[in-house]
A = this chain, B = another copy of it.
């Protein structure tokens, strides 16, 4: 429905060469707020992040966070969903709400000239949402449809199975789809949504990130004015799921021409002191698109897949998985598994070359400014920095920190990280 609304992601091109000046917000609402001034375009982008994703659904049926997020703009005590949307349309503003495994994010985009009426709508949403029964019913039905669709996706099935094995059957919140199940969604009442809303949408449980053409002081006084009526509560404490230690091998039969092959093992976290080493390591192994070893061996040399990629789950505030994933014709599934394992052994045993290191650094540092260039990516980074308590100079020092990684850093990281190679687990989805 938001097809014609203000485009969310605006490009801050002039910033590329410059350092990003990140400042702490000084508001009465919260101490967790960061601000970046931009001069390019007359917009204000605000990201509010609440510790309220699936992993925080304690005492609620699975899928509650998703329903709350999707219904947040669907009615307040004063306005219907229709009225809210029409007002936003008139302002060319956008308020998007998204739930994930660990949080619910509200992203606000407005022209500077319309920021006050937009924040007035935000205030109403944050203080007077009432989750009309009718809206709950409409949404529930389309969530059922989405759950059914998800079951058809080999990638979803592989990831779900990997997480279930990794965290163990009992750690349901750590592996369940954020949609929940048809059964669990069926149990969620309007009162549950109201309770969740009251408990999680408090200032203490919120982080603010702002990228704005309006100055810092103006933004601070606007936030003080329009968020003053937010409920008070407590910052939600995360109970980190503890992964199961044994390796696993699972096959999910599905009648499809290609098998999805996923290998996974415990990842390192965003705050690990090996973070920069792991970024370079991963680029060389399987993160670097056509330049990676896995692509070279499995696609370029043997033509067994259209693409293969490795990745760390850096964005999680609890232990995540390192994954290598590809799709290949059913008959080649085990062969590609062997090839991936060979590459893991090889990089751990023999290490990388000086030219691989240089290429990785050139690409990673060269592309970094581009990856910061849009306002929504910058907003996401501000939010992430707060989630992991990173330094205000984090973005400005990233390039330098990557540059400091040595050959021996990557090699010793690879040895350590892959020491227990037998602990790598596997999931196959398809006709193996």
Residues of A within 8 A of B (CB): 1-7, 10-11, 13, 40-42, 80-82, 85-86, 89, 92, 134-135, 137-139, 141-142, 144-145, 148-149, 152-153, 182, 256-258, 289-291, 295-296, 299-300, 303-307, 327-329, 363, 366-367, 370-371, 373-374
Contacts and interface: CB of A to CB of B under 8 A. Distances in A.
A142 B306 contact: yes
Contacts of A137: 303
A212 to B, nearest CB: 15
A304 to B, nearest CB: 8
Contacts of A141: 257-258, 306, 328-329
22 contacts: A1-B289, A1-B307, A4-B363, A4-B367, A4-B370, A5-B370, A7-B374, A11-B41, A13-B41, A80-B300, A81-B290, A82-B290, A82-B295, A89-B290, A138-B299, A141-B257, A141-B258, A142-B327, A144-B258, A149-B152, A152-B152, A182-B257
B290 A86 contact: yes
Copies in the complex: 2
Nearest to A328: B141
A290 B1 contact: yes
A138 B148 CA distance: 29
A145 B256 contact: yes
Output the residue of A2, A182, A289 with the most chain B CB within 10 A: A289
B145 A327 contact: yes
For the complex of A and B, list the 7 residue pairs with the smallest distance between their C-beta atoms, beginning with the closest.
A144-B257, A1-B289, A85-B290, A4-B367, A152-B152, A134-B303, A145-B258
A363 B148 CA distance: 36
A148 B1 contact: no
B289 A148 contact: no
Contact of A289 (B13, B89, B92, B300): B89
B257 A145 contact: yes
Contacts of A142: 258, 306, 327
Contacts of A329: 141
Contacts of A6: 370
Given A86-B290, A145-B258, 13 more contacts: A5-B370, A11-B11, A80-B300, A89-B289, A89-B291, A89-B363, A92-B370, A138-B303, A138-B305, A138-B306, A141-B257, A141-B306, A149-B152
A69 to B, nearest CB: 14
A258 B258 CA distance: 28
Given A1-B289, A145-B327, A370-B6, A306 B81 contact: no
Contacts of A363: 4, 89
A153 B40 CA distance: 41
B289 A3 contact: yes
A381 to B, nearest CB: 15
Contacts of A303: 134-135, 137-138
